[in-house]
Amino acid sequence: MIVPGSSSQLLAAALAEETGRPLATATYDRFPDGERLAAVPEFDGREAVVVATTDSDEAWVELLQLQDAVREAGAEHVTTVIPYMGYARQDESFGEGQPVSARAMAQAIGTGTDRVVLINPHEPAVGEFYPVPVEAVDAASVLAAPLSALRDPLFLAPDQGAVEIAATVRDAYGSGETDHFEKHRDRETGAVDLTPSDAAVAGRDVVVVDDIVATGSTMSEAVDVLTDRGAERVVAVCVHPVLVGNATTKLRAAGVDRIVGTDTVERGCSVVSVAPALAEALATDALAGEG
């Protein structure tokens, strides 16, 4: 059965449809003291695929509970799909006395599962923190589908780290150039400073592609530079539209034409699904626990 975390209900349903597997109805409750209780009252099966984006601390707790609940209900094999893995950007200790948070989360989750599937993790190396086999699925090519009739398009990565993902979206779109900016982020304030390339953007449609839009600082800074330079339309595209706080407003204020994301984080702009890419990954023998 496919078991949804509360933040991934639409994606889990899409995955159930895509794979033909039954969808479990999970429940998400709270006790008066604030403690959570996620459960799967009618779980029935030998194999569970728990699908849960961990974009909040609550979601991590819920995921641990769902993993344990399906074992308790008789699952012999558990696959954990984390469409968007929170804490993945804390993949090293950035200062004295700081934890490697991604490792701590991975080790906790790893105790309740046989396998993990991640979608476009910020750094693929984060998979090495899990004590079980991990597959990282690259679903970025789906982001090209909602883009149509772009004028002389430029696919732009706002920093070096997004160069590959921008190329993937460009290739899936089928035409256009690629380029990237350089980024510096002040760790104290979170402020982003971009050094633009000298690409000519006037009169062109520019698609800015990143893996994550969180506070929107990176993306809005890029949109701002591009609109200043006369880009015709600027479309913001990302795999994980986390969009915390006022991120959407910042993007609109900077002049973005459209925000496009996937359903790894379920938001209004999640117009394409990673379910087909996930279904393909789950179809492999190794992931189905049949190997």
- Give the residue ranges of DSSP H helices in the chain: 9-19, 57-72, 101-110, 163-173, 217-228, 247-254, 275-282, 285-288
Which of the stretches 148-156, 194-202, 205-213, 272-280 binds ligand R5P when contact is defined by CB under 6 A? 205-213
Q: Which two tokens stand for residue 271?
A: 């117009």
Q: Least distance (Å) from ligand R5P to the CB of residue 171? A: 19
**Is 183 an active-site residue?**
yes
Q: Which stretch binds ligand R5P (CB under 6 A): 37-45, 215-223, 258-266, 268-276?
A: 215-223
Among 212, 272, 277, 287, binds ligand R5P (CB under 6 A): 212
Q: Shortest gap between Cβ of 90 and ligand R5P (angstroms)? A: 11
Least distance to ligand R5P, CB of residue 244, Å: 8
Span from 96-104, 140-148, 210-218, 223-231 in contact with ligand R5P (CB under 6 A): 210-218
Tell me the CA distances in angstroms from 200 to 80, 135, 196, 226, one per residue in order: 44, 38, 11, 10
What is the smallest separation between the CB atom of 247 and ligand R5P, expressed in angstroms? Answer: 6
Angstrom distance (rounded) from CA 24 to CA 1: 6
Under rule CB under 6 A, residue 216 binds ligand R5P: yes
Q: Is the dihedral of CA 207, 241, 279, 109 positive or negative?
A: positive
Q: Count CA atoms within 13 Å of residue 132 on its CB side.
A: 21
Q: How many other CB atoms are there within 10 angstroms of residue 281's CB atom?
A: 21
Considering the candidates 103, 122, 183, 240, report the single residue annotated as catalytic. 183
For residues 157 and 152, what is the distance between their CA atoms, to the nearest angstrom? 17
Q: Which is nearer to ligand R5P, 137 or 214 (CB)?
A: 214
Of 8, 217, 262, 273, the one binding ligand R5P (CB under 6 A) is 217
Residue 133: phi, psi to the nearest 5? -60, 140
Q: Is 235 in the site for ligand R5P (CB under 6 A)?
A: no
- Least distance to ligand R5P, CB of residue 209, Å: 10
Q: Does 210 bind ligand R5P (CB under 6 A)?
A: yes
- Taking CB under 6 A as the rule, does residue 218 contact ligand R5P? yes
Looking at beta carbons only, is 45 or 216 nearer to ligand R5P?
216
User: Other C-beta atoms within 10 Å of 205: how many?
Assistant: 20
Helix axes 275-282, 9-19, angle to 10 degrees: 50
DSSP state of 87: T
| Nearer to ligand R5P among residue 161 and residue 276 (C-beta) | 161
CA 30: distance to chain centroid? 26
Q: How far is the CB of 140 from ligand R5P (least distance, A)?
A: 12
Stated as kind and residue range, the H or E segment containing 233 is strand 233-241
d(CA 246, CA 215): 7
- The residue count for binding ligand R5P (CB under 6 A) is 14
Options 85, 134, 213, 274; binder of ligand R5P; rule CB under 6 A: 213
Show contacts with ligand R5P in window 131-190 (CB under 6 A). 159, 161-162
Binding of residue 237 to ligand R5P (CB under 6 A) = no
Positions in the binding site for ligand R5P (CB under 6 A): 159, 161-162, 192, 210-219
Query: Which residues does the annotation mark as catalytic?
Result: 183
